[in-house]
Amino acid sequence: MKNEILKADDNIFEALEVANSGYEKIRLDLMLVIRKWFKSSGLNQQDAAKALGCTQPQISAVLNTKYEEFTIDRLVKMVSRIGKSIELTVLEAA
């Protein structure tokens, strides 16, 4: 790993040379959207779980950024339930 300062939108997983860094960044970005929604919603974890179609322990996992417990598909479904749409952009590899 190189010693460098990352910008806010850089892929930390890529910088740490984690396998599948793009996949991991997508999961983390989706979780951050859900966390932001939860903090602004005023809901408790139980009510947020109902709104997102999941369980309270799953909400807790999102809030604790346990991204390894979720697939991108599951997180996309949760994000769509809070009224957000997702746009995917495919870029050339660096």
Of residues 39 and 15, more confidently modeled = 39
Q: What is the pLDDT of residues 47-82, one digit of tens each?
A: 999 999 999 999 999 999 887 889 999 999 999 999
CA dihedral over 88, 31, 19, 9, signed as positive or negative: positive
Mean pLDDT of the chain, nearest integer: 83
| CATH class of domain segment(s) 22-81 | mainly alpha
Torsion region of 9: left, alpha or beta (phi above 0 gives left; psi -120 to 50 gives alpha): alpha
Q: Is 36 helix (H, G, I), strand (E, B) or coil?
A: helix
Q: What is the pTM for the complete model shown? A: 0.74
79's tokens = 């994000």
54's tokens = 């999941």
Residue 25: the pLDDT is 82
* Position 89 confidence tier, pLDDT thresholds 50, 70, 90: confident
Task: With a cut of 60, say whether residue 12 has pLDDT above it.
Answer: no
Distance between CA atoms of residues 15 and 3, nearest Å: 9
Q: Is 82 helix (H, G, I), strand (E, B) or coil?
A: coil
